[in-house]
Structure 1
Amino acid sequence: MLAALNPIAVQLGPFEIHWYGVIIASGVILAVYLAVQEAKRRGISEDDLLNMVLWALPFTLIGARAYYVAFEWPYYSRNPGEIIKIWHGGIAIYGGLIAAVLVFIVYCRRHHLSAWLVFDIAAPTVMIAQAIGRWGNFMNQEAYGAPTTYAYLNSLHLPHWLIQQMFIQGSYRQPTFLYESAWNVVGFILIMTIRHHKGWFKQGEIFLSYLMWYSFGRFFVEGMRTDSLYLFANIRVSQLLSVILFVAAIAIWWYRRYNDPLLKDYLAGSGVTVQQ
């Protein structure tokens, strides 16, 4: 049996760079690059987009940590010194997304930009960043599911090194990180393929499509995980939030379509020409 993959990418004395951080950073860099290219086509300047990202990054990290700590408060109330020790694990994607959305809204209002358009530009790139980021969980042997068998994992035609990495705490585990990553890759390809079809999307609807796609898949994947945050005895926080986001996205889409005849097409962008 092969040993688990080393989660440390580089070690220089006491200084360590973990694969988790490398992978997350790679996803963010790709997302920003793709978003900048699309922003220019839609009349949003590169400077504005990069400023939003720079403002959002620290708040995203704080939001992701605060979300996790809030729903694990019985532990952290007894161990307050652990709250800031993010390197011990414990961040939540939904918390980070909520924080980033709030930062983007504030920035857009102050700089007279359409938040809906900016969200549309960012949404599919966030999805691919999430898909890549899940491989950081893989390197850390976290975000996994219930015990399973080698035969089952092999039946999925997974490479041997991946199967062996899923041998955790004495048994093979469901690779829920992989299920969510694959779901996000499919969603990214789908949205990127259809978003430039003329007349298909009003501004805001690509973002709402992202919310529907991600929350739908996350609901089922979350139900398979063994490390979920719980609101009550049998209610997983991320599943409940997924249902809320999915229903809200459909409702907002319908409400905007039928109550605002002046909605601009996504392809119309901001109406401002940006130098390439």
Structure 2
Amino acid sequence: MYPPVDPTIIDIGPITLRWYGLLMATAVLVASWIASREVERRGQSSDDLWDLLIWILIPGFIGARLYYVFIQSPRSAQGIGHYLANPIEILQVWGGGIHIFGGLIFGGIALWIYCSVRKLPILVFLDAITLGLPLAQAIGRWGNFINQELYGPPTTLPWGLRIDPQHRIAPYNDLTTYPESTYFHPLFLYESLWNFLGFALIFWISRRFQAQLRDGDIALLYLLWYPLGRFFLEFLRTDSWFFPGTPFNVVHVLTAIAISTAAFFLYRRHRPSAVQESNG
């Protein structure tokens, strides 16, 4: 059982240092260092990787925030109406509220444009970034813990998470039915552990089978692993909009598309006939 943590580390005059921002910065730096080592291992310049990150991080965060505000927030504690009435808060990402799929879409487009303009091997840099991405996600998810978001339905399991009433969404903000002693599934923890395991597995595969892997395979493995876990964890979400009369939401559709597409291309790339053609 996890007690709430103050989201603010320290206030220095007008400057506020928050756990959410610190964890996000740590996640980005760790993943970027892993990516820079990977591009060097593949014979590319790490300077190109660091230059690239400047151009994809901003679109990535914008996409992640917009996805959350316009698709995810209708079931959040604030809701899309709050953001439309207070548009300046759309920019306040330090308060929590970003979504990985928006980041992947916008960041992926920025990556493609940058590599095309600079004549860089897109798949090599895509592999490098997705190699460290699961670790970044695993670290960043603890920001959800600090902000008391990304929790599941009530649970009596010993690792349940307490959520303060002001951070709960309906119907769990009804303290008569769900008193303050109620504990919830720590969904952030489940996803963090899944991502830690995914990073370890994909990193091991990248080294153990490097002779068999082709450019782009690491990205495809990521698009298999992360969406697979996310598909099942979405059934525990309390802040998503679900298709009426179903237990499915938009993320279920996106993850299913990602899994099937990644599996198709991995099979096509590594089926016996394709391997023979490549070796020939």
- Range of TM-score over shorter length: 0.7 to 0.9
- Which amino acid is 1:58 matched to? I
TM-score of the aligned structures, taking structure 1 as reference length: 0.83
**Displacement of 1:75 after TM fit?**
2.2
Q: Which residue of 1 aligns with 2:49?
A: 49
TM-score normalised by the chain length of structure 2 = 0.82
Partner of 2:170: none
Q: Does the 8 A contact of 2:152 with 2:236 survive in 1?
A: yes
Partner residue of 1:241? 254
**2:4 and 2:104 mapped to 1: Cα distance?**
31
Partner Cα distance (1:14, 1:105) in 2: 38
Q: 1:231 to 1:83 in 2, by over 3 A?
A: farther
Q: Classify the secondary structure of the residue corresponding to 1:221.
A: helix
Aligned to 1:114: 121
CA deviation string 1:2-43 (max 9, x = no partner): 952111112123431110110011011011111111111101
Q: Which segment is superposed worse, 208-217 or 252-261?
A: 252-261
Superposed CA RMSD: 2.5
> Could you say if the C-alpha distance between residues 78 and 138 of structure 1 is closer, same or farther in structure 2, counting changes exceeding 3 Å?
closer
In the TM superposition, what is the alpha-carbon distance from 1:70 to its structure 2 partner?
2.7
Corresponding letter in the other structure for 1:49: L
User: In 2, are the aligned partners of 1:203 and 1:263 still within 8 Å (CA)?
Assistant: no
Contact 1:219/1:239 (CA < 8 Å) preserved in 2? yes
Cα deviation for residue 211 of structure 1 reads: 0.6
User: Within the alignment, does 1:225 sit opposite 2:234 as a pair?
Assistant: no
2:234/2:252 contact within 8 Å kept: yes
Match of 1:181?
A: 192
- Provide the residue aligned with 1:97 in structure 2: 104
**Alpha-carbon distance in structure 1 between the residues aligned to 2:237 and 2:101:** 16
Task: Provide the rounded CA distance (Å) in 1 between the counterparts of 2:68 and 2:7.
Answer: 22
| Pair 146,123 (structure 1): closer, same or farther in 2 beyond 3 Å | same
2:176 aligns to what?
none
Point out where structure 1 has 5 or more consecutive residues left out of the alignment. 155-162, 265-276
Aligned counterpart, 1:64: 64
Deviations 1:149-183 (A, max 9, x none): 2xx125xxxxxxxx5x5344322110110111001
Name the aligned partner's letter for residue 239 of structure 2: D
* Aligned residue number for residue 153 of structure 1: 158
Is the Cα contact below 8 Å between 1:56 and 1:100 reproduced in 2?
A: yes
Tell me if the contact between 1:66 and 1:95 (Cα under 8 Å) persists in the aligned partners.
yes
Shifted more, 234-243 versus 174-183: the winner is 234-243
Show CA shifts across 1:26-78 (max 9, x none).
01101111111111110121111001101111111111112122325752685
1:144 aligns with 2:151: yes
Contact kept, 8 Å, 1:20 with 1:136, in 2: the verdict is yes
Q: Distance in 1 between matches of 2:9 and 2:269?
A: 47
Is 2:215 the counterpart of 1:215? no
CA contact (8 A) 2:63 2:103 kept: yes
How far the C-alpha of 1:251 sits from its partner, in A, is 1.7
CA distance in 1, matches of 2:228, 2:118: 33
Alignment equivalent of 1:195, drawn from 200, 206, 214: 206
Supply the distance in 2 between the matched residues of 1:123 and 1:166 (Cα, whole angstroms): 33
Q: Secondary structure at 2:213's aligned position in 1?
A: coil
SS state of the match for residue 83, structure 1?
helix
Asked if 1 retains the 8 angstrom alpha-carbon contact of 2:154 and 2:185, the reply is yes
- Secondary structure of the residue aligned to 2:204 is helix
Q: Distance in 2 between matches of 1:67 and 1:118?
A: 24
How high is the sequence identity, in percent, across the aligned residues?
38
| 1:28–1:129 CA contact under 8 A, matched in 2 | yes
**Structure 2: gaps of 5 or more residues:** 75-79, 166-179
CA deviations 1:175-224 (Å, max 9, x no partner) are 11011100111111111112122433111111100110000001111211
* Residue 142 of structure 2, aligned match among 116, 135, 146: 135
